[in-house]
Amino acid sequence: MKTIDQLEVRGQRILVRVDYNVPLREDGEVANNQRIVATVPTLKSILDRGGRAVLVSHLGRPKAAADPKFSLRPVAHELARILGREVQFSTHTVDAEAVAATQALNDGEVLLMENVRFFPGEEAGDAEFAAQLAELGDAYVNDAFGTAHRAHASTAVVAQHFKGRSAFGYVMANEIKNVDRVLASQEKPAVAVVGGSKVSSKIVILERLLGRVDALLIGGGMAFTFLKAQGAEIGSSLVEDEHLDTARQIMAAAEAKGVRIHLPSDVVAADRFAADAATQIVPSFAIPTGWMGLDVGPETIAAYAAVVRDAKTLLWNGPLGVFELEAFERGTRQLGEAIAVATEAGTLFSLVGGGDSVAAVEQFGLSDRVSYVSTGGGAMLEYLEGRVLPGIQAVYDAE
């Protein structure tokens, strides 16, 4: 893997694809700067070595036309604050004025271009638009893991214009390294915690993990499909009846491979999906009619925490319950705490990935207490599934 470290940058315009698709507040300011902060080491590597950083990103889902609601200008202000230096902003993205703005840069300066999704050629992966983007730089760095699964012009096509002058930034390199560490780990026991609402969205991940982990801890709404497949009475809990056979097949495959699947033994059941619902703790195999499981119970939490304590490698993808509601956050929060404690003790390498899991560790203040939090979302899930990510493959092909 060729990283920014191996790229000659002094006096060069380094076109960097970053993922600055960040939430904005109503006043237009950046609400969460995690993705911006993550790119700072890559940018400092370029700037401190005399390079000229030209940054391209998307923000939101504009309809392939300029829209002030999706302008990256607020991001330029936030990046300048974080870097402690001026960040120039170009309202032009790929025309002659845009190219001129990049050519006017001095060593150690930063220029952020306007939203690439203002152009239909970006999402279409258009070769002509990619060629226009290529005019903005002398070398190319992809540091946008969160968009690596999209075959867009700025992520998967532009790299072909920089043969021998392409590399990964630190965000991208760290994502690949850390996910690969889990998938190929020889540090046993290896454990995966997989939650979320539906089995259907996790089938490929579950099947792939069976050859790589010693135990699977299943939670969230998807657990009830597995439980019903074993004959459980699950009340009004979320279930995918069309995937009962899928659940049985996964359990049979796990048994054949010697992988132990852990399912909830008790749940926090509610009489309706609401923050102020009536609740009771019941066995997961006997949820009363009209009640639904919205979190794992204390017995399950203790059992899952015991597995975590013995683990050496762990992937966490998906919450154990509806953690957004205080009444049903305990399972996810206490599992996260168990993972954090084992990580801090030095006995566990823990990777957290997937939107809801990342949201949970942030909500509970655990982000700095686990080994690595993936910024990738959908990209990480596709990478876990073993798919070729266009944004990654493009850089490998251009190295």
Mind telling me the catalytic residues? 35, 198, 355, 378
Q: Tell me how far apart the alpha carbons of residues 171 and 146 are, in angstroms, rounded to a whole number.
A: 10
Query: Quick check: 16 and 53 in contact, CB under 8 A?
Result: yes
Q: How many residues does the chain have?
A: 399
3-state SS track over 14-72: EEEECCCCCCECCCCCECCCHHHHHCHHHHHHHHHCCCEEEEECCCCCCCCCCCHHHCC
Q: How far is CA 99 from CA 131, 138, 152, 219, in A?
A: 12, 11, 20, 51
The DSSP result for 141-153, as a single string, is: EE--GGGTTS--I
Peptide bond into 189 cis (omega under 30): yes
Q: How far is CA 343 from CA 165, 301, 312, in A?
A: 38, 18, 9
Q: Tell me how far apart the alpha carbons of residues 284 and 282 are, in angstroms, rounded to a whole number.
A: 6
Q: How far is CA 327 from CA 197, 323, 355, 357, in A?
A: 17, 8, 21, 18
Pairing mode of beta strands 266-270, 292-296: antiparallel
